[in-house]
Amino acid sequence: MSTRKTERANALADALARRGVLHLRDAAALLGVSEMTVRRDVGTMPDRFAYLGGHIVSADDIAGGYELGREADSHANAKFRACAHALKLIAPDDTVFIDCGSTLDHLAQQIPADLIITVICYSLNVAQRLAEKPHIRMIMLGGIYHPASATFSSGEWLEPLGRFGINKAFISAGGVDVERGASCSHFHEVPIKQKAIASALESYLVVDDSKFGIVKPAYFARLSDFRAIITEAGAKETADA
Amino acid sequence: MSTRKTERANALADALARRGVLHLRDAAALLGVSEMTVRRDVGTMPDRFAYLGGHIVSADDIAGGYELGREADSHANAKFRACAHALKLIAPDDTVFIDCGSTLDHLAQQIPADLIITVICYSLNVAQRLAEKPHIRMIMLGGIYHPASATFSSGEWLEPLGRFGINKAFISAGGVDVERGASCSHFHEVPIKQKAIASALESYLVVDDSKFGIVKPAYFARLSDFRAIITEAGAKETADA
DNA sequence: CCTGAAATGTTATTTTTGTAACATTTTTTT
DNA sequence: AAAAAAATGTTACAAAAATAACATTTCAGG
């Protein structure tokens, strides 16, 4: 086997690791050889590359058979329904705060593309969902990225957050306990959640039923701080006030 | 959305989880519909399935953000290669600023997952790419979302941006002209680009050759403000200084 | 039941991709 | 350096796939 071919194979594998797929003609341009040569290369290394109708993908991408990583969100359905209830509270022209977490991902996702509102968020996932809806005005609080929760945090935004005219704040929690209130796993989220709750006209806690009775390390609010707690069963007003 | 379509999508995803790839005609046989319908299904769910010349694969198999519209980015390859050159300038532990635009998307994408650097950005696309690389420290400038360029802007971050210890700034432009300098289409990006250039130790303009001779409405820098201009052909130092 | 809209299927046409044969270049061997 | 071998490029043709236009079916209100 020639050294040239090996070099090309490595360059190809490299590019595939970054881009996922490569069209035959792009691969040829990238490697500086003809399409025919790329085709021949790929054809002789079926264990490294797979060739699908003019496109090259890494062979183990399409290995099939074993499906390890994808652990489905166990309570996805409950979360989805909880958010469907939350969605009913949002009216045109509202300014809403959407907290982070997989639960509120569903809320961002469910917002109709033609509902014109302003949304304030600080989670990358929520932002991605909102970015797909061109009519939504989005304000994102930036800062340092926290991979564990896909959120940003910074001192810069705390003060401005208090000045936005937030109508409704939708907050999630990792744990909800009647005595110990609402809590989450990441301390950096606490000031943001608290500021949002404090400055919003109405705050709602959106969680699925599995969160009740759980206490996480970072406490951030009493249950009575919320107008209602929204679960898959609907909105329950908080007892006291 | 019809329930049939959803059922088919799930069945397809199922089959793909087992087999990795499915040829169009096999998928059609499996689902009991015509090839045309499968094509239409897959085409309308680009986030679940990828369609490569007659073959269907699960979209997250080929993650890495491949743009499916083949003509979506005519200069993708030039941009890709320009960014490959830019990447060589980044050293471990650098603090780099990455501008917005489809060109620098490729840069964010190509950063090796094990290269430990700090990145400052303000584009949603760049942030998404960086979020996939857990070792990268990311700081995102938030603010109001601008759908046209998938960027955020706000006065809050301008001053802090000047205080970050930016080593290298990678800037893109919609137009590059020897006399009229570097320009872009969106005015809100101008203060951010300028601040980044001003506070970075070294700034680089990363563009593909097709941008030369073009002048866009929003001027933001002289060519001599950059240490070099990086294109698919490599880095050219700016003539004057 | 109708009726219209949406979904699906069919067909013909254009475009893209695959293949094979052969020409050319590069490398290796002597 | 010449000859042989390998690798690569080119071309023309065959096959497959993409697309668009139109026909048909299905399904939800009225």
B102-110 and B124-131 helices cross at what angle (nearest 10)?
10
CA distance B208 to B214: 12
Q: Mapping DSSP to helix (H, G, I), strand (E, B) and coil, where does residue A1 land?
A: coil
Pairwise CB contact (< 8 Å): A152 & B130: no
Nearest residue, CB atoms, A142 vs list B57, B130, B140: B140
Say which residue the tokens 């650098």 belong to.
Answer: B94
Name the residue ranges covered by the structural domains of chain B: 3-62, 76-237
> CA B2 from chain center: how many Å?
34
A3 CA → D2 C1’, Å = 25
| B7, closest nucleotide (Cα–C1') | C7
Tell me the C-alpha distance between B200 and B180, whole Å: 22
* C-alpha distance from residue A102 to each of A112, A148, A187, A237, B129 (Å): 18, 12, 17, 23, 19
Looking at every residue in chain B, the average pLDDT score rounds to 85
pLDDT at A218: 95
Which residues in chain A have Cβ-Cβ distances shorter than 8 Å to B138?
A: 144-145
**A39: which nucleotide lies closest, measuring CA to C1'?**
C18
Alpha carbon distance A150, A101 (integer Å): 8
Q: Do B156 and A160 touch (CB under 8 A)?
A: yes
Distance A37 CA to D1 C1' (A): 29
Alpha carbons B150 and B158: distance in angstroms, whole number: 18
Report pLDDT for B100: 95
Tell which wins on pLDDT, A78 or B97.
Answer: B97
The stretches of B115-201 forming alpha helices (DSSP H) are 124-131, 158-163, 189-199
Q: What is the mean pLDDT of each run of 10 residues along chain A (241 residues)?
A: 70 76 83 86 83 83 46 59 86 95 87 86 93 88 93 89 93 95 95 96 94 94 95 73 44
Cα–Cα distance, B129 to A89 (Å, whole number): 33
User: How much is the pLDDT for B29?
Assistant: 81
- Say if residue B125's pLDDT is above 60: yes
Q: What is the pLDDT of residue A88?
A: 87
Reading the block at residue A164, the tokens are 């936005």
| CA A227, A230, A233, A238 torsion-angle sign | negative
Q: How far, in Å, CA of B233 to CA of B178, rounded?
A: 18
For testing the chain B interface, which of A12, A38, A62 should be mutated: the one with the most B CBs within 10 Å?
A: A62
| Of A10 and B18, more confident | A10
pLDDT at A239: 58
**Chain B residues inside the 8 Å CB shell of A26:** 76-77, 80
> How many other CB atoms are there within 10 angstroms of residue A153's CB atom?
22
Arch. (CATH architecture) of A3-62: Orthogonal Bundle (1.10)
> Considering the domain A76-237 in this protein, what is its CATH number?
3.40.50.1360
